[in-house]
Amino acid sequence: MNPQNRLQSQKRTVEAPAPEEQPAERCIAWIEAHCKILSDRGHGLIPFALFDYQKDFIRTLWGHREVICLKARQIGMTETIAATAVYCVNEFPGWTVLILSKGKDEADEVLSKCRICYDNLPPDVQTPLKNASITSRLILANRSRIIPKATTAGAGRTFNAQLLIIDEWAHQERQQALYTAVSPTARSAGNRIVGLSTANGVGNYFYTLWQKAQREQGAGDTMYPLFFGWSVRPGRDEAWYKQATWGYDDWQAAQEFPAAPEEAFVLSGRMRFDHQSLLDLAKRTEAPKREEQLEGGVLSIWEEPAQAGRYVAGCDTAEGLLKGDYCALVILDFYSGREVAVLHGKWDPAQFAALVNALCHRYNDAFLGVERNGPGHAVLLALSTLHDYPALYCHQHYDAVGMPVERPGWVTDSRSKPIMIDALATAIRERRPFRNGALIGECMTYVIDDKGGTGASGTTFDDILMATAVAEMMRHYDEPSQEVVSLAEELDVADMRIDARYG
């Protein structure tokens, strides 16, 4: 670059407007006008003509302070990040763009793409380097810099980054500790954070943040969610997909090349339930016709009780601790096996028993199976004595002299658990049109462990799943008759706001 061009470049950079005043369109136009990338088809350097989804990513990045991006592989997001980073440091004096990668090789790869963009900028646009001998990062004469780092326990803690990029977040170790360490410095000046990744199963911090972002859509301090599936890039069709995923197991194909977010978060292991069946059922779930917010949880209603209806219910109990498991009650129509009502939340056993009694009585004294674990004993005691619930399932066993003895409650043990899970798996494989999306989500994260047992993966939950499985068993064990409660006797939903101490 000749001295005159260098002076003009530095002057133009200093006069650039503040970042808050920069529309995303200027960033997009700058990249397309000045940046080059290596062709993935072996054509050498080519102008970076952004696809529509890459423009959408840039617009989202400039439109929201924090963004979480779930993506398929091989869609050119690393090049997009690199070009955006070069734009920021070239245009805004004093900016730091910190890019955190899984390891040194990945950090070097990101820096390489940044260097390709920067080194091939037109001379009259390019802000000069501060020191050309420094190759581990990109430091410009305007005091801006791009710093790629492999994630370690203290990575990024000392840098006040105007743009913080966490690359392949779901595949990094110490995901939560990393975010906790680096995000305050980026937030302190109101700057931007973007975490992007392909999925890596469930139960990790990236998965948790994605689920929260989808629920809240960027409200408050929640990250804004952005998803790009395998078909978003022009020129890809089913033939391309089959070739790209040849030799993959179903779960690998869904994780690496998802078409929808719910496909991405499958497990890198053996799912207990049929994956394709779950994907089909996920498309057919229904929002409840009515939801009632209760203290401690929520009641979801898909169908009001019919006067001559027959219903069964399954109950998964917990201790009601703030950081503990959830309680769940699932009521199914006896004939269709579909959910009509679900109660879900955190209550102590006495509170939960009162709510269960009220709701099951409302559904014509639904035949009720309560899982008899630790807190289940207290729930069963309250239902059978305090509330005198008339339709409790009783487990029959034999005493020391061989006499049959009945005890209230469903026993989940090494013999009964496979039976109840098999029954639910059959319903899923037969595509029973379950309504509750939360059930399908829990089934997606329910796995077979190394010893052949089954359970929720990582930090995920299976309370709605287990309550549904118990309710399904009640359809098989249901008594031949069921007392029908008249509509006049039904409890209003408002009556479920019971004083759970004894209602």
In the block, residue with structure tokens 């090349």: 257
- Structure confidence at residue 404 (pLDDT): 65
For residues 466 and 412, give the distance between their C-alpha atoms in angstroms, rounded to a whole number. 10
316 and 454 in a single domain? The answer is yes
* Signed CA dihedral, 487, 379, 290, 482: sign only: negative
**DSSP conformation letters of 82-111:** HHHHHHHHHHSTT-EEEEEESSHHHHHHHH
For residues 431 and 353, give the distance between their C-alpha atoms in angstroms, rounded to a whole number. 32
- Indicate the pLDDT class of residue 477, thresholds 50, 70 and 90: confident
- Indicate the pLDDT class of residue 32, thresholds 50, 70 and 90: very high
- Structure confidence at residue 501 (pLDDT): 37
**Mean of all residue pLDDT scores within the chain:** 82
Residues forming a β-bridge with 331: 313, 341
- Indicate the pLDDT class of residue 132, thresholds 50, 70 and 90: confident
52 and 131 in a single domain? The answer is yes
User: Residue 206: which H helix or E strand, with range?
Assistant: helix 205-216
Q: In the 8-state DSSP scheme, what is residue 186?
A: H
Q: Given a cut of 90, is residue 53 above it in pLDDT?
A: yes
Backbone phi and psi for residue 31, each to the nearest 5 degrees, phi listed first: -60, -50
In 10 A of CB 488, how many CB atoms? Answer: 6
- Structure confidence at residue 278 (pLDDT): 87
- Structure confidence at residue 187 (pLDDT): 65
Backbone phi and psi for residue 47, each to the nearest 5 degrees, phi listed first: -60, 145
For residues 270 and 267, give the distance between their C-alpha atoms in angstroms, rounded to a whole number. 7
User: Residue 119: which H helix or E strand, with range?
Assistant: helix 104-119
Q: Given a cut of 60, is residue 485 above it in pLDDT?
A: no
- Indicate the pLDDT class of residue 497, thresholds 50, 70 and 90: very low
Identify the domain boundary among 228, 256, 273: 228
- Region 68-81: mean pLDDT is 93
329 and 459 in a single domain? The answer is yes
- Structure confidence at residue 214 (pLDDT): 82
Q: Given a cut of 90, is residue 27 above it in pLDDT?
A: yes
Q: What is the pTM of this model?
A: 0.56
- Structure confidence at residue 458 (pLDDT): 66
* Token pair listed for 35: 């940046």
- Indicate the pLDDT class of residue 445, thresholds 50, 70 and 90: confident
For residues 79 and 336, give the distance between their C-alpha atoms in angstroms, rounded to a whole number. 51
298 and 220 in a single domain? The answer is no
- Structure confidence at residue 448 (pLDDT): 84
For residues 243 and 239, give the distance between their C-alpha atoms in angstroms, rounded to a whole number. 6
Domain-embedded: residue 111: yes
In the block, residue with structure tokens 């509170």: 351
Domain-embedded: residue 275: no
- Region 326-352: mean pLDDT is 94
User: Residue 428: which H helix or E strand, with range?
Assistant: helix 416-429
Burial degree of 468 (CB within 10 A; 0-12, 13-18, 19+): buried
CB 59 within 8 A of CB 33: no
299 and 435 in a single domain? The answer is yes
Domain-embedded: residue 158: yes
Residues forming a β-bridge with 299: 292, 343
Name the more confident of 458 and 200.
200
Q: Given a cut of 50, is residue 235 above it in pLDDT?
A: yes
Closest CA to 160 of 175, 176, 143: 143
- Domains in the chain, number: 2
Q: Given a cut of 80, is residue 262 above it in pLDDT?
A: no
| Residue 270, C-beta contacts closer than 8 angstroms, at least 6 positions apart | 447, 448
101 and 169 in a single domain? The answer is yes
- Structure confidence at residue 311 (pLDDT): 97
- Structure confidence at residue 4 (pLDDT): 37
In the block, residue with structure tokens 């039904």: 490
462 and 322 in a single domain? The answer is yes
- Indicate the pLDDT class of residue 266, thresholds 50, 70 and 90: low
224 and 286 in a single domain? The answer is no
Domain-embedded: residue 152: yes
295 and 168 in a single domain? The answer is no
* Token pair listed for 325: 């498991």
CATH of the domain at 487: 3.30.420.240
- Structure confidence at residue 138 (pLDDT): 93
Task: Encode pLDDT of 304-313 as tens digits.
Answer: 999 999 999 9
- Structure confidence at residue 43 (pLDDT): 79
224 and 289 in a single domain? The answer is no
CATH of the domain at 177: 3.40.50.300
Residues forming a β-bridge with 406: 396
Closest CA to 455 of 409, 418, 428: 418
211 and 286 in a single domain? The answer is no
Domain-embedded: residue 237: no
Identify the domain boundary among 161, 195, 228: 228
Residue 434 is part of which domain span?
Answer: 281-496
- Structure confidence at residue 104 (pLDDT): 87
Task: Encode pLDDT of 80-114 as tens digits.
Answer: 999 999 999 999 999 999 999 888 888 889 999 99
- Structure confidence at residue 12 (pLDDT): 36
For 35-64, b/e burial (b = at least 16 CB within 10 A) is bbbeeeeeeeeeebebbebbbebbebbbeb
224 and 291 in a single domain? The answer is no
Task: Encode pLDDT of 357-375 as tens digits.
Answer: 999 999 999 999 999 887 8
Percent of the chain surpassing pLDDT 90 = 49
* Token pair listed for 335: 């004939």
Q: Given a cut of 80, is residue 30 above it in pLDDT?
A: yes
Identify the domain boundary among 228, 263, 290: 228
- Region 451-472: mean pLDDT is 86
Domain-embedded: residue 273: no
Domain-embedded: residue 107: yes
Domain-embedded: residue 19: no
